[in-house]
Amino acid sequence: MLPPFGLARPRSVSAALAELDEDSVPYWGGTELLLAMRMGLIRPRQLVDLKGIAELTEVRIEDGELVLGAGLSHDEVARDPLVAEHAPLLAYAEALVGNARVRAQGTIGGNLCFAEPRSDVATVLSALSAEVRLVAADGTDGADGTDGADGTRERRLDMAAFLLGPYWTDRQPDELLVDVRIPLPVTAGVYLKYQTVERPTVGVAAVARGAAGCRLVVGAVGELPAGFDFEDVASVDAEAIAGELEPTPDLTGSILYKRHVTAVFIRRALAELAEKVSAP
Ligand SMILES: Cc1cc2nc3c(=O)[nH]c(=O)nc-3n(C[C@H](O)[C@H](O)[C@H](O)COP(=O)(O)OP(=O)(O)OC[C@H]3O[C@@H](n4cnc5c(N)ncnc54)[C@H](O)[C@@H]3O)c2cc1C
């Protein structure tokens, strides 16, 4: 049973910001939040339903970045033509998330803010060097804030700064994640996911960076996505990387097993990436 709670239905970002505090929390799909409330893990006084805020579902190119509203569902991201054109790797990974219900109901912003460690989305966005934009009402203590538009303060964080641990982010209670920004252009990329039950056991994303080599991110296997940068794909030692990770042992595998699977998936991802990069 859900505990009793109040409900606010703002129609704009500024109206939503006016509602937020420790005990009044935002939600979109509710795929994680309502479950946590049913389990008695959290009991907010009020939920702030973001679904009436149209600007949170926009996709656009702005200042050389692909901008994705936090309220886009996984399905919407997977099917968006701009995403398909500029960040096909993300479209591909989003189409693999969970099941049809989760892809239709769950959002890119909710995925990141919940910081479930077994996330495809966080792994791929880390590999794409994406940032999140957080906005708070002006006059509140949004640390490191720079002035945003219309009486708001905002800050941008990359994935490593935003995701602090399992179910833990740097988002402050008065902040809304408004969008995710991916620097363009994105060159070739590969995402491989190994999954036995619900959610990935291991996710490996590899993105070519032209002359700057490649970025490899291993997600889901440990508490946070782990990123590695290389000048030369051929020089990557998959076993050494897997050995550096701290896999979380659970019903999907022991530490030893997860290290082995990770090394296999790193090798496969890099081989696929090398093929893509060398294709005419
Ligand atoms: C059965 C199942 C399978 C899944 N499988 C996968 C998988 O394979 N891969 C994968 O990556 N993920 C998987 N997920 C996770 C899924 O992607 C997330 O549940 C979903 O994206 C969360 O989005 P939501 O809108 O429902 O979040 P909500 O439940 O609405 O919110 C989650 C949290 O984020 C906060 N929040 C939401 N939006 C904002 C915002 N804009 N600003 C600030 N805070 C916000 C809420 O306060 C809450 O704390 C799975 C989930 C389930 C339930």
pLDDT along the chain (280 residues), means of 10: 95 96 97 96 97 98 97 98 97 97 98 97 98 88 54 94 98 98 93 92 93 90 96 88 96 96 97 87
Residues ≥6 apart with Cβ < 8 Å to 75: 94, 103, 104
Q: Where are the domains of the chain?
A: 54-183, 189-278
pLDDT of residue 187: 83
Q: Which of 178, 199, 202, 252 most suits a substitution to test ligand 1, by most atoms within 8 Å of the C-beta?
A: 199
Please give the pLDDT value at position 211. Answer: 73
In this structure, what token pair is assigned to residue 278? 């060398």
Query: What's the pLDDT at 141?
Result: 47
Q: Are 173 and 123 in contact (CB under 8 A)?
A: no
pLDDT at 16: 97
d(CA 218, CA 204): 5
End-to-end CA distance of the chain: 57
Q: Report which protein residue has its CA nearest ligand 1's atom 13.
A: 98
C-alpha–C-alpha distance, residues 191 and 219, integer Å: 11
Residue ID of nearest Cα to ligand 1 atom 5: 98
Shortest CA distance to 87 belongs to which of 212, 205, 224? 205
Measured CA to CA, the distance from residue 276 to residue 188 in angstroms comes to: 7
- Nearest residue to 123 via CA among 204, 212, 15, 5: 204
Say if residue 185 is preceded by a cis peptide, omega within 30 of 0.
Answer: yes
Ligand 1 mean position, distance from CA 106 (Å)? 5
| C-alpha 121 – ligand 1 centre gap (Å) | 10
Assigned CATH class of 54-183: alpha beta
DSSP letter at 2? P
CA pair distance 48, 26, nearest whole angstrom: 4
| Residue 270 alpha carbon to ligand 1 centre in Å | 29
Task: Answer yes or no: same fold for 54-183 and 189-278.
Answer: no
SS3 state at 153? strand
* Topology of the domain covering 189-278: Enolase-like; domain 1 (3.30.390)
**Assigned token pair, 256:** 């030893």
